[in-house]
Structure formats: C-alpha cells, structure tokens
C-alpha cells in the first residue's frame, strides 16, 4: 500500500470517528500495524511496531483488533471497550462496532476452528453483540444490542435476540423504491 493510500485511509477513519479520540487513536494505530503486518512483519521495526500496537490497544485501551484483520474504510468504533475481533474476520467499509462486541470463530470438539465472520459494507452492530462462526452479515444489515448471531443475516435486514432472528429488511428510501 502506498503512503498516500495509507494516509487517506487513516484520515477517513479519523473523520468518521470524530468526537472519540480513543477510536481515532485505535484506528490510526491499527492501519499502521496492518501495513506492517501484511503479509507478515518485514523486519525488526515492523515486529516492534506490531507488538507496541497490540500492547497499546489490547492491554491499555481494551480493544482486540488484530493487525491481520481485513477492515474496510471508515470503521467506526463507538465506545470502544471490550471489543474482540478474531484476526480472520473480514469487516466491510463504513461498519460500526459498539462496546462489548465479539466477532470470532468456533472451536469444535475435534479442536478444529471454524471460519470467522464476514461483515458486508455499512453493517451496524449494537452493544454486546456476539457474532460467532462462519457467519455472513450482509451489507446494510443492523444487529440489535445483545444479539447472538450464529446464522447469516441477509443484506438490509434487522436481526435481534439470542439466538438472533431476522425481523425485517430495512426499508428503502422512497427514491430507491421507485
């Protein structure tokens, strides 16, 4: 990734997290650590930088967002505390994660880990949402607070509950419906 592309990503994250310095710091640090980590730490500076990122975000700021995670532009972290993301999770552009959100895989009785969740673009997760296993959450979907998602959520849908169930697709604006 070029310097200008990296800078543009950081500035987009900075802007969409305006009002939360903690979120801005986490995302700026994530983008740099991701750059160092992908495809693998290239040298001692990268290894030290990635380690420093993990200490800062996990130990001091309470957010586990591994640098190998694929994250689209403008990830918004609202009240970023106790957010845990598996490194194989894929997060689309303009998604929103709130406090106490977990995105992870499942380890079966045989010790084999499942795939991790994949979030489309413009997905919004409420406080305390748990998305577990090889689950796809479609673009534009919203998941209500405290939901436990173990099945796919279609694009534009609203899902709530434990286990999460789909209530209804999100209504399209009048100009799109025509």
The model's pLDDT over 116-154, given as tens digits with 9 standing for 90+, comes to: 999 999 999 999 999 999 999 999 999 999 999 999 999
Domain harbouring 93, CATH code: 2.160.10.10
Query: How confident is the model at residue 41, as a pLDDT?
Result: 64
Domain-embedded: residue 178? no
Average pLDDT (78-96) is 97
Give the residue, 133 or 175, on which the prediction is more confident.
133
Binned at pLDDT 50, 70 and 90, residue 5 comes out as confident
Q: How many domains does the chain have?
A: 1
CA distance to 25, 26, 142, 161, per residue, from 60 (Å): 12, 11, 29, 31
Active-site residue flag, 34 = no
The answer, yes or no, to whether residue 100 has pLDDT greater than 70, is: yes
Query: How confident is the model at residue 176, as a pLDDT?
Result: 60
Q: Domain of 52?
A: 3-166
Average pLDDT (27-51) is 87
Give the residue, 35 or 131, on which the prediction is more confident.
131
Query: How confident is the model at residue 46, as a pLDDT?
Result: 87
Query: How confident is the model at residue 168, as a pLDDT?
Result: 66
Domain-embedded: residue 174? no
Query: How confident is the model at residue 82, as a pLDDT?
Result: 97
Domain-embedded: residue 152? yes
Domain-embedded: residue 121? yes
List pLDDT tens digits, range 40-74.
Answer: 667 888 889 999 999 999 999 999 999 999 999 99
Query: How confident is the model at residue 15, as a pLDDT?
Result: 95
Binned at pLDDT 50, 70 and 90, residue 1 comes out as low
Give the residue, 171 or 149, on which the prediction is more confident.
149
Domain-embedded: residue 84? yes
Query: How confident is the model at residue 172, as a pLDDT?
Result: 66
Across 104-128, b (16+ Cβ under 10 Å) vs e yields bbeeeeeeeebebbbbbbbbbbbeb
Domain-embedded: residue 9? yes
Domain-embedded: residue 90? yes
Q: Which residue in the list 54, 79, 90, 165 is annotated as catalytic?
A: 79
Domain-embedded: residue 134? yes
Average pLDDT, the chain: 92
Query: How confident is the model at residue 30, as a pLDDT?
Result: 96
């Amino acid at each position: 990734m070029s310097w200008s592309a990296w800078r543009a990503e950081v500035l987009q994250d900075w802007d969409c997290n305006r009002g939360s310095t903690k979120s801005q710091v986490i995302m700026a640090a994530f983008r740099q650590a991701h750059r160092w980590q992908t495809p693998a730490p290239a040298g001692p500076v990268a290894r030290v930088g990635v380690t420093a990122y993990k200490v800062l975000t996990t130990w001091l700021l309470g957010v586990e967002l591994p640098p190998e995670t694929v994250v689209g532009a403008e990830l918004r972290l609202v009240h970023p505390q106790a957010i845990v993301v598996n490194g194989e999770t894929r997060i689309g552009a303009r998604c929103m994660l709130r406090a106490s959100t977990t995105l992870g895989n499942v380890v079966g009785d045989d010790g084999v880990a499942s795939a991790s969740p994949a979030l489309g673009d413009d997905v919004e997760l409420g406080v305390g949402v748990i998305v577990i296993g090889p689950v796809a959450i479609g673009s534009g979907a919203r998941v209500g607070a405290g939901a436990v998602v173990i099945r796919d959520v279609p694009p534009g849908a609203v899902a709530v509950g434990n286990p999460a169930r789909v209530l209804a697709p999100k209504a399209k604006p009048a100009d799109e419906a025509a």
